[in-house]
Chain A
Amino acid sequence: MKTPVQFRLNGDDVAAFAESGANLLDVLRESVGDLSVKGGCWQGTCGTCTVLIDGLPRLSCITLAESCAGKSVETVAGLRRGADLHPLQSAFMEHFAAQCGYCTPGMLMAAKALLDRNPNPSREEVVDAICGNICRCTGYEPIIAAVLDAARGDNRRRA
C-alpha cells in the first residue's frame, strides 16, 4: 500500500510515494534519492540518521514519513553554502573529526541543531548535543573540538 508524502527537503519541495508506515530514513534514501542520510540501527539508538525537522533534531529511522507532510526536512546534503562547505564541515575536516565517516552526517546535523539554537555553546552543551550520536572511531574529542571551533568561526564572521 503506497501513500503520497510531500515535504520540503533542504529548501526544495519534494513528493514521493512511500509504503504506508514507512520511516523517513527509508523514504529519503529509497524514494527521494537523498543518500546523504545514513542508517545505522533502525532502532533510534545510534544517531547516524539524525536530520532536522522544522529545525529540530530527529531520528529519521523512527520518524513516520507521513508525519513529515508539509514540514521542512534538512539533511547533510543541504549543509553546504553554494560551492563552500558549511563551517561545521570545514571544522570537521580540520580537526580530523571523521575517520570511517559513517556517523558524520548525524553528528553534523546534531551539531547544526545546537549551533542554530545556541551559537556560543559550552563544551558541556556540545557533549550533550551529540550524546545521542555514537562514534566508534574518533573517541569524540576531535568532534567536540570541531563543533566548538565552528562556533567560534561563525562568531568571528558575524563580528
Chain B
Amino acid sequence: MSVAVKTFAKLADAAGALSSERGARFLAGGTLVMRALNEADPSIETIVRSTDPNFVNIALSSGRIELGAGVTMAAILAERDLAFLHPVARAVGGPAVREAATVGGNLFAPSPYGDFAAALLALDAVVMLAGGFGQREAPLEEFLGRRERGSALVASVVCKRPAADAFRFVKVTRVHPKGVSVLSIAAQLPLASGRIAGARIAYNAMARAPVRAKAAERALEGRTLDAAGIAPALAVATDGTAPVDDAIASAWWRREILPVHLRRLLIGAGHA
C-alpha cells in the first residue's frame, strides 16, 4: 500500500495540510498510524509529518508544564523534573515503544490504551490545537469527548505542576511486568489542612476514552484519606463509566475491580 508522505518544517503548515487534504493522517511516533498503514487502512491517503522543534519541546517553569505533542515517553523519563510522571511513562510499552510513543499520540489511543492521557486528565490539562484557524486551546476533557471528529492537530499539552506527593497513578494489568491495561487510575489529591480540596481522578479503559470520575471527586471533597473518609467515593467509583468488553477484560470485571484499586490508590497502597 502506497501513500503520499508530506513532511513540513513548521507545525502550522502541517496543520494546514492535515485539514485540507482528504484522507490525511498525522504521523508522530507511529504506534497508531504505522499500525493502521500495515493493516492497509483504506482511509489513509496521505501521511503528514512535521520536523518542527517545538513539537518535541518540554517547557518547564515554576508552576507550568508544557509538553510538545511529539514528546516521547522516553523523553519524559529522561526529564528529572517530571519525576512524578515517570511511573505513567514507564507504563507505556517496553523501551522500544517508549522511544516512539508520544504525548499527543496517547490522546488518540483507543481503549484500553491511553494511560498517559488519563494522567493528563487528572492534571486538568489543556490541549493546544493548531489548525487552519491558527492556534486555540481546549480542555482535555472536552477534546477527548470529540477526538474522533475534526482534523485539528495537537501541538502541545499544558498543565499545572501538582503539589508535591499529590499525584498518584496505578495501572492494572494481567501480564507482568508489562501488559495492556485492564484499567488505570490517575489522581491528583491536593490536601488543605489534611483534607482533600479539589481532587481530580481519571480512569483509562473504563470508557471508550479516558474519563473523569466526577462523582468520586465530589465525594472526596473535604474528606480525609483514610478508610472512613474515602468510603463515600468508593461507593460511587463506577458512576459515569462505560467500560467495554475486550480481549483484556470484560466490562463487568472492570467495574468489579475498579473500587478495589481506587481504594488502594487513595489510601496510598497503589503501585505503578
Interface of chain B: mostly helix, strand, loop or mixed: mixed
6 A-B pairs with least C-beta separation: A132-B94, A62-B34, A21-B3, A131-B178, A57-B96, A42-B38
A58 within 8 A of B: yes
Min CB distance, A48 to chain B, in Å?
A: 11
Among A1-54, those with CB < 8 Å from B are: 1, 3, 19-21, 23, 42-44, 47, 50
| 26 A-B pairs (CB sep. < 8 Å) | A1-B2, A21-B2, A23-B38, A44-B31, A44-B34, A44-B97, A47-B94, A57-B99, A58-B100, A59-B96, A59-B97, A61-B34, A62-B35, A62-B100, A63-B100, A64-B5, A64-B47, A67-B49, A110-B95, A110-B96, A113-B95, A127-B177, A128-B94, A129-B94, A131-B94, A131-B95
Q: Are A133 and B94 neighbours in the complex by a CB distance under 8 Å?
A: yes
Contact size class for A? Answer: 20 to 34
Min CB distance, A44 to chain B, in Å?
A: 5
Min CB distance, B114 to chain A, in Å?
A: 15
A130 within 8 A of B: yes
Please report the total number of B residues contacting A with Cβ < 8 Å. 27
Give Cα A57–Cα B187 distance, bound, in whole angstroms: 31
Q: Are A1 and B4 neighbours in the complex by a CB distance under 8 Å?
A: yes
Give Cα A58–Cα B93 distance, bound, in whole angstroms: 12
Q: Which residue among B5, B49, B96, B100 has the maximum number of chain A CB atoms within 10 Å of its CB?
A: B96
A145 within 8 A of B: no
B162 within 8 A of A: no
A74 within 8 A of B: no
A residues within 8 A CB of B3? 20-21
Partner of B30, one of A3, A57, A64, A127: A64
Known interface pairs A21-B2, A132-B178. Does A58 touch B99 (Cβ–Cβ under 8 Å)? yes
B219 within 8 A of A: no
Q: Are B93 and A21 neighbours in the complex by a CB distance under 8 Å?
A: no
Min CB distance, A46 to chain B, in Å?
A: 10
Which residue of A is nearest B178, CB measured?
Answer: A131
